[in-house]
Structure 1
Amino acid sequence: MRVPLYIAKRYAFSKSKSKAISVITKIASVGIVVSAMAMFIVMSVFGGLRSFSLSFTHEMDPDLKLFPTEGKYLKVSDDQLQKISDTELFDGVAKVVEDRVLFLFKEKQLVAHVKGVDANYSSVSPMEQNLLYGHWLDVNSDEAVVGVAISYQLSMGLFDTENSFQAYAIKPGKGAIENPQNAFIRKHLTPVGVYTLRNDELDNKYVYTSLNVAQELLSIDSTQYTNLEFAVKPEISENKAVEAIQNVFGDSVVVKNRVQLNDGLYRMLNTENVVVYLIVTLVVIIALFTIIGAMIMIILEKQNNMKTLSNLGMSLKQIRRVFLAQGLIISFSGGVVGVILGAIVVFLQKKYCLLMIQGDMPYPVSLSFFNLVLVLVTIFTLGFLASWMAASRVNSKYLE
């Protein structure tokens, strides 16, 4: 392969006698550079969007979340919590009560999720860092922290003593309701903070309260919770942590990690990535058609050279390897240059925020080594196929 490769390099980097062929080869090379650059930038943009979308799950969801297999509420004893603490596998374990209730403020109303949390919640979730204004709630009070979209819908301000912020939940029981006034449990809350995750759905979803307030509102006792949330220590494997939880609580619970909690979102993002990859690959394939045309033109131009090489003892197979190697050199060189230019564009966007989605939010991009390898492998594979198709045109008639 050394001799064919040496000749291929001479052909690839030397000027053609025909000006038209030189122009066609340059156009083909530029097409590969541009398509590789576009492919890397598009994959980096969607990688950034994927990371941006998943960042919300890191803000809202814990490392592990425990649910009851049956019923709505989970009964947890102090002994079970102590056993979990004794494993020393977790940075924090938070008790949570969550359900949909009705909220009223200034004659405006909406249905949202009340989420009652205890003092350990800050160790499993960084929600306090997402406060837009105000402060985090005191878990021994009737204070509440609401999403920014909820505050807008209810025209709610903080520390408003003149207007009452109320939560309503239906009383559990059986039989017909004789007096609607007695059908609900009502709690008065004091809004002290507003959070934002820059996501309309999540900013319109939760009202955080203390655990006791949520339990009273939903008429459950102090040992019942909708779920437990766990922060696993960085050096501990997820499987080991899940096994420890199952040993304490048995088969009456289900443990889900962050991916399982958002399996629909992950499936959607993975599907989007595959579709985008296939679309940009189609663009590369179209660009590589110019390589086939350019290689066929070069083969026609080098017909006399092929006769000379044949007379010097090269076989037809070796001559085909010359043009195969030449096509690979052009394809791979264009791919490398395109990826370098694409990486420069992505780096500039990441560092200097050249393109903004809105105000202070730059368009997210991800400078990934995986994307770099993926683009180069794609270009090399498709370039090999295009070069092989062109080189296979060489037959014995060219050597006569």
Structure 2
Amino acid sequence: MNFPFFIARKYFLSGKKKNFINVISIISMVVVASGTMCLIIALSVFNGLEDLLRGMYGNFDPDIVVYPTSGKSFEADSSYTLKLKSIEGVNGVSNVIEDNVLVEYKEAQRLVRMKGVSRDFDEFSGIRNVLVAGDFPLVRDSIAYALVGRGVQYDLSLSLQNDFYTLQMYYPKDIGPGVINPSRMYNLLNIIPGGVFAIEKYYDDNYIFVPIEFAKELLNYGNRLTSLELYLSEDADPFSIKKSIQQSLGGAFQVKLGEELHSDLYKVLKIEKLFVFIILVAIIGIASINIFFSLTMLVIEKRKDISVLFAQGASSRLIRNIFLYEGCIVAFSGAGVGLVLGVGISFIQQHYGLVGMGMDSAVMNSYPVKIEFLDVLLTTLAIILITLVASIQPAKKASRSFSTQTLQ
């Protein structure tokens, strides 16, 4: 005769010591729930940070950058732009000249990274989304304006309301020996500050955007460029377009996606996320030792009942499954509560931002959070694996160690 599973389980999971074992099981549930909740929240925060960085850099960086393989500039050719614009998914191509210049405002001076851009930049760049003062675009009513990082603005004490002072930009000339007059050693051009942007400290402290015509005149670049920046449509596949561009332009140029410009930073974030996942899973694994001990104690305390079940026809497989399911119930109950709490807290933070950064100068007022299904799935699979590892040994012991000979 084979006992139904639920009858057998109820039969030997009752007794005087049931409350003690239940306390251990509840403690195990709480520990597993806490670890699961922390794991979901931690992974969601890392996802939010990665999304935040992509959003910030996306306002500054183009979708694709093309620059020379050797040297810092190349001879501009209209055929390059025509080739690039003919590729399906490419909305705009901006010519770029970028170099270091000395900028002076009133009596303040500092070295900055000047980036001269063409009109496609005005139309497709996300820089307008991060303006904190002034206007956009860079050329208005045939007048050239400079777009200045917030850190540069602070260093120069720059005021957009004062029209009597302009930004003076200096760039050394390529001169030969024998030149004595200092004024012939550099180019000097003036430009009106038209706006201030705030993205991230490095960009804010170093960059100034100007029209490409201004950059060409200041740097004496003539028909040369330092790079081409491409802006794609939303439904375009950047990887296939990158491949097409590389095949079209050949080995004289390198092609990089905008995300690849910060690949090292994204790799660091992913590595940190992986280690956090491993550490928290290890903590849940340590917590599952409670499951192991509670099941082992249950096996010892119920050995006579197990022998009775053997004598009445219960199979070893049935006994083993009872203990396996008991461990799964404990672990899955804790994991289920932890998943609900973790996803719930992350959802509330994502939409309402209850936990703030605690700094007035922070990029965001609250911690960024993003829930990803893959994180929930991996967490669930990890808990299933840990539960099986913790439960299988007591279950095997229960099915092998007892027989009708132990009955007294």
Fold match, TM over 0.5? yes
Aligned residues: 397
Q: Which residue of 2 aligns with 1:48?
A: 48
Amino acid aligned to 2:381: V
Name the SS for the 1:268 alignment partner: helix
* 1:339-378 mapped onto 2 (5 Å cutoff): 339-357=339-357, 358=359, 361-378=365-382
CA distance in 1, matches of 2:278, 2:127: 38
Partner of 1:202: 203
Which residue number in structure 1 is paired with residue 64 of structure 2? 64
**1:94–1:228 Cα contact (<8 Å) kept:** yes
Q: CA deviation at 1:154?
A: 0.9
**Structure 2 letter corresponding to 1:323:** F
Amino acid in structure 2 at the alignment position of 1:389? Q
Work out the CA distance in 1 between the residues paired with 2:46 and 2:4.
40
Report the CA distance shift for 1:119/1:8 in structure 2 as closer, same or farther (over 3 A): farther
Q: How far does residue 53 in structure 1 lie from its aligned partner after superposition?
A: 2.1
| AA in 1 matched with 2:391 | S
Question: Aligned match of 1:386 in 366, 385, 390?
Answer: 390
- The structural deviation recorded for 1:240 is 3.2
Give the drift of 1:393. Answer: 3.6
Contact kept? 1:159, 1:191, Cα under 8 Å: no
- Determine the C-alpha separation between the residues in 2 that align with 1:239 and 1:364: 28
Distance 2:221 2:12 in 1: 78
Structure 1 residues 155 and 335: CA distance shift in structure 2, 3 A: same
Distance (Å, rounded) in 2 between the aligned partners of 1:117 and 1:5? 74
The alignment-based identity, stated in percent, is: 29
The answer on 1:150 being equivalent to 2:144 is no
CA contact (8 A) 2:29 2:334 kept: yes
Aligned equivalents of 1:7 and 1:110: distance in 2? 82
Give yes or no for the alignment of 1:213 onto 2:214: yes
Superposed displacement of residue 108, structure 1: 1.7
1:188 paired to 2:218: no
> Structure 1, residues 136-166: CA drift from partner, whole Å, max 9, x if none?
2433533101011110111111143333321
The question of whether the paired residues in 1 share the 8 Å contact of 2:26 and 2:330 is answered with no
Q: CA deviation at 1:281?
A: 1.4
Equivalent AA in structure 2 for residue 73 of structure 1: S
The answer to whether the Cα contact below 8 Å between 2:12 and 2:305 also exists between their aligned partners in 1 is no
Mean CA deviation greater in 163-172 or 29-38: 163-172
Moved more, 176-185 or 115-124: 176-185
TM-aligned CA distance change 1:294 to 1:231, over 3 Å? same
Give the aligned partner of residue 267 of structure 2. 267
Alpha-carbon distance in structure 2 between the residues aligned to 1:50 and 1:15: 53
Under a length normalisation based on structure 2, what TM-score does the superposition of the two structures give? 0.89
Match of 1:229 in 2: 229
Query: Aligned runs of 1:258-337 on 2, under 5 Å?
Result: 258-337=258-337
For structure 1, the residue ranges without an aligned partner over 5 or more in a row are none
Shift of 1:258: 2.1
C-alpha RMSD of matched pairs (Å): 2.5
Does the Cα contact within 8 Å between 1:35 and 1:338 map onto a contact in 2? yes
Cα pair 1:8 1:323 within 8 Å, conserved: no
Distance 1:132 1:9, change over 3 A: farther
Going from structure 1 to structure 2, the CA distance change for 1:86 and 1:389 (only over 3 Å counts) comes to same
- Structure 2 unaligned spans of 5+: none
Residue 319 of structure 1 and its aligned partner are, at CA, apart by 2.1
Q: How much has 1:245 moved relative to structure 2? A: 2.1
